[in-house]
Amino acid sequence: MIADGVTPVGCDPTPPAFDHSAASFGIAYERCDAKPEQVAAALQRLPANGPSMLEISIPSTPKR
């Protein structure tokens, strides 16, 4: 919200903890940067036989 110029009222927004979300569902979790080699490596570490969560961190871009 703040990054988009919206002033929060009555709350304290924080990014979700996707690792905790994945753990609560009992699924595998990996996090990496948006570099193709890191994404490929993270995908290799995740199981192919069930649900999983991959969080890809991208750099913030300024609002235009």
Per DSSP (E only), the strands in the chain are 28-33, 52-57
C-alpha span between 22 and 51 (Å, rounded): 10
Instruction: Quote the CA–CA distance of 64 and 54 in Å, as a whole number.
Output: 28
- 6-34 pLDDT per residue, tens: 887 777 778 899 999 999 999 999 999 99
CA dist 38 and 45 (Å) reads 11
Averaged pLDDT of the chain: 90
